[in-house]
Structure 1
Amino acid sequence: MKIAEKTKPLTLVSAITDGMRVKLKEDDTVLLLGEDIGKNGGVFRATDGLQEEFGENRVIDTPLSEAGFVGAAIGMAANGLKPVVEIQFLGFIYPAYEQIMTHAVRLRSRTLGHFTVPMVIRAPYGAGVRAPEIHCDSTEALFTHMPGIKVVCPSNPYDAKGLMIAAIEDRDPVLFLEPMRCYRSTKESIPEGHYTVEIGKGKKLREGNDVTLIAWGAMVPVVMNASKQLEELGIQCDVIDLRTLYPLDEELIAESVQKTGRTVIVQEAHPTSSVANDILSVINETSFLYQKAPVEKVSGFDTPVPYFGYEDFYLPTPERVIHAVKKVMRF
């Protein structure tokens, strides 16, 4: 890992901007595409100022056609460029699903390695920001079930910048999920210049011997809140921030659950056919005989994300996490 010496305080969204700026400066083949990302700086201002700094040929405003500009980016990537595509909200990616599933993730194998697709697809996602229908979807499992694409999801500014740089440098497509609830919730002093966070590696945030809590994105602060309350009750939690959803850090998961013997997985996505189920498979395959209790899942529900008046009833809370932890501790 290469780390610059100077640091500066950044929010998660500004850290993403900084990561893109670093690569735009370093590599002339990097360019950005998306709706309103140029003059307007993107719907969340994640590309604010970049068109002015690098020009309209590097930061490109596209028509309102996700299938069109994602398909164009695949062609660019196959021909030597490194496009970073912004989808305004993850729920708007569905028109481009065919391009990703049929072409982006398969081109390397289809051409026996003659072509690669080094592109990044950025997508703000998740509920809790009082946005309209479709804007708050958490459908990451649609993409973790696509061999050929990596899926990352930072929860803090340091990881956001490091994962962004690593994603742009990767030879294969990367879906970069950005939890909207975390965009401006905190600031963190992070290194200036170039550094990377390895894709495929999670991070241990707290050490404990009683129960493992696994989360990612906007659920990490929820789990950290719960773990602090549980500590006051005498329950010590091992807290894991996955950071990468595909490929999963199976070694980190197994090491933790084998130590504690109890696990709670926290996600805001629907419970059926979810990343939480993939984690549960890892636990069963690597650590079944170590378990002292069945694994608990705390998640959203098998419904569309509700309108903003009901979001708080849909999303996992520290209270729901604490209830699940007490359940596995009593088993």
Structure 2
Amino acid sequence: MKTIYLLLSSTVLLTACQSTNEANQVPNSTNMIDHVYYIEQQSAQRLVESSQRLAESFEGYCTNQTEKETVVMQWQQTMQAWMALQGQQRGPEAALSVNWNIQFWPDKKNTTGRKMSQLLKKDQIWNTELIQQQSVTTQGLGAIEWLLFDKASTLPASESCHLGQAITANLALNTLKVDQAWQVNPWSQLDETMWLNEYIALLANQLDYSMKKLSRPLAKIGQPRPYFSESWRSETSLTWLKYNVEAMQNIYLANGVGLDDYLRKQGHADLADRIEDHFNSTLETWPESSSLFAELQTKSGYQNTLALYNKLEYLKYLIHEEVAIELNIAIGFNATDGD
């Protein structure tokens, strides 16, 4: 297993060095594409570096070199890094193709829990090759959360340690694919009209996905489904959602030359103001609780969650409807529709 970590470390270091000379510097241009690409490329780099540290910390925990709290903290940092890219349906196909391997959600039938319990019962010394042959439910961040937080986990027993080390090593390999895919700008050849379609769809898809993270657990009024919450075991659902919104705001602004700036230059300053103000007010009034699971246990918590959903719905209206109409952009269906 150490050979895998050494290979990962050297590959990540090489990729990071290459990135420094190519896309690691804030663009001097006023081209929206350059700045949005820079944000995406940096997000991918943070993700692979964080997942590598997660693999290393998990190994350290299982060899009594680090505390469990270190692994938990590193898992949280990797989740935070993933939120910047989660739910996006635009970008390099090689990056998008491993989304499910990085995180399986929604987990409507607790498939992760059942599959992880089954793997622990197998008389098997796990490695990345064997993990890659298993269900995507046991390959990503949710599987690590299960090992760290679920009562059925046997950490730090040897079977759980072997399994966790293999999963975190495989996760680092998959995030490396994401980082490598983002070394090339997929939008560099697009004209303005094509780019605007792509740019707004990038925001719209991620926003749709983020709203699903609330609508699924909210379910029918009076009949919530808290176990549909993302990361309900670690009680961090609302924390991750906030990082989603911050990431969308970052892409929208794009270092001052993004969609906000474009709308203003096209004579739509009022619309730009409303979007900017709504991003700010949504984040400033974010719920204090990090656990959506806990919020849905009370009437007031349910109402607070519904209010948050309504705020995102208004943001969706501004982007899906007003921006698209003003710029004559048609936003089509995406992977979160109809499921």
Give the TM-score, by structure 1 length. Answer: 0.30
* Structure with the bigger percentage of strand: 1
Give the TM-score, by structure 2 length. Answer: 0.29
